[in-house]
Amino acid sequence: MAPPSPSPEPVVIHAWSAPRSLSTSLMYSFAQRDDMEVVDEPLYANFLRVTGVDRPYREELLSSMDPDGNNVINEVIFGPGKTKYRYCKHIAKQRLPNLSSDLMKKGKHFILIRNPLNILPSFDKVVPPSFFELGIAELVSIYSELCELGSPPPVIDADDLQRDPEAVLSGLCEDLGIPYQPQMLQWEAGPKDFDGIWAPWWYRSVHKSTGFSMPRRYPLTFPFALYDLLEQSLPFYNTLKRHVRKTIGSPQPTLPDPPLPVPANKKILVWVGDELLPRDSAKVSVFDSVVQGGDAVWEGLRIYDGKVFKLDEHLDRLFDSAKAMAFSNVPSRDWIKDAIFRTLNANGMFNDAHIRLTLTRGKKVTSGMSPAFNLYGCTLIEWKPPVYDNSHGIKLVTATTRRNSPNSIDSKIHHNNLINNILAKIEGNLAQAEDAIMLDKDGFVSETNATNIFMVKKGIVLTPHAEYCLPGITRATVMDLVVKESLVLHERRISLSEFHAADEVWTTGTMGEITPVVMIDGREIGDGKIGPITRQIQNAYKVITAGSGVTIPRNADE
């Protein structure tokens, strides 16, 4: 008689989490399947043996479970079984360096995360939490290792699981390549045969459950003795949260990221304060004055062929604006230049790039209008071609929103309070125009919502006085070019009807450079094509941008 054939090796599903993340509830859910067996923390004894961590049940656990992790991997986790699938609940910190690489290379893996704001109060009821005990950094390490192995694991959030278990479970099953079974939504209350011996200490709440319950509407009062630990843990949680599977039933507390016009900008380094940070980590405090009141000044710069164009002129205006706003503790010119150069070098950006340099007053220490500190940053640098169609021209409309009077907010300060401009831009968008002309309080043309403006009539170049507009760096450059090109320049108040009847119109700005305007308020400018003087100024501007600017210093070996 032939010997009986060994049982087939089940497909192993590894569930990785930090403690107190609904991992036991999820294990109970998978245990309801008719094709699944579950194993509760098979590597726990190995963890206690290697680390020496104390638990009330330590000796009992070490005597009842195999403390040799590699034996467990071979005989328990990947051993023969009677079901098609084997679900292994793992706590991330139990994945120790002494374990076989088979643990990560074999089976299907997923990661369950939970906000440390919810983990810490729950954990604190049983064991004093520490960064080591939470093991959230190990979760990130596991995710990274699986990605390097070519198998990025699905990530689910415990809050989503509670809010819409059916959507999350069916999506997870789809990602794991197994069929979803509706019985995963419910289980009987009480202890389970497969519970670890630590269940009396940790599973009291889950033993009362019969399914996933909605999360608390309001969080429990946080134990602020754990505040530092929360700050240490949140970055790791947020790193993984970016990879959470989105389900139909999941709430979207934040707006989705808009598509980037230049995909390369998805991965850039940004200077904030005094350091370079990845794009998604580059943040300003909600207490910063720029968030609380638009209390900041800024500059936009462009990079041409390894040089920052008009850098010192932009910094002059930045310092003038900061002085007008009574900023204190303003960083030095050399310090700002160094931050710009470091950021450009780190991103490898030496041409066709844009810098948005923002200087804020700093974090507010209380309500009111008199903050005492200054945070200098941030430097946003991105790949960006000119933002307008400078080859064919653009259309403008006139906004009903008037440009700020110097009696209210002086436009000569390059401040961050741009609501006035944004309202005008909205009018332009609704009229399907690229931008909107803004008039001053007396009805004369000031500028557009984003640029300065010029016109040509009978060979004479005109531009509005700077009383109601930002005295732009590009505006000043073009005014110099007009004179150098032996053209006549007039700077005066100009009515809207004069712009309607102009032979040529263009706008100027760091981002747009020299942009022809072919239509205003439905009226064709000239013959509706780019005029000869506009072309002349565009060509002269290209020459000056190619031949001037502050060279970006680079390492000698580059």
If the chain, 558 residues long, is cut into consecutive pieces of 10 residues, what is the mean pLDDT of each piece?
60 97 97 98 98 95 97 97 97 96 97 93 83 94 97 96 96 97 98 97 95 82 86 93 75 67 84 83 80 82 93 94 84 92 89 89 59 46 76 96 81 74 88 95 94 97 91 95 97 97 96 95 96 98 93 80
Q: Each residue of 479-489: pLDDT tens digit?
A: 999 999 999 99
Q: List strand residue ranges (DSSP E) for 315-393, in order.
A: 353-360, 376-383
Antiparallel, parallel or unpaired: β 36-40 and 275-278:
unpaired
Contact predicate 45/61, CB 8 Å = yes
The size of the chain, in residues, is 558
Closest CA to 39 of 94, 2, 115: 94
Distance of CA 65 to the CA centre of its chain: 44
Per-residue confidence (pLDDT) for residue 418, from 0 to 100? 72
0.95 surpassed by pTM? no
Q: Each residue of 333-376: pLDDT tens digit?
A: 999 999 999 889 888 889 989 898 999 887 766 544 333 334 44
Per-residue confidence (pLDDT) for residue 283, from 0 to 100? 83
Question: CA angle 309-314-317, nearest 5°?
Answer: 165
Per-residue confidence (pLDDT) for residue 413, from 0 to 100? 73
Share of residues in the chain with pLDDT > 70 (%): 93
Per-residue confidence (pLDDT) for residue 535, from 0 to 100? 98
Complete domains list, the chain, with CATH = 11-242 (3.40.50.300), 263-376 (3.30.470.10), 394-546 (3.20.10.10)
List, in sequence order, the alpha helices (H) in 150-266.
158-163, 165-176, 199-202, 204-207, 227-241
Distance of CA 552 to the CA centre of its chain: 27
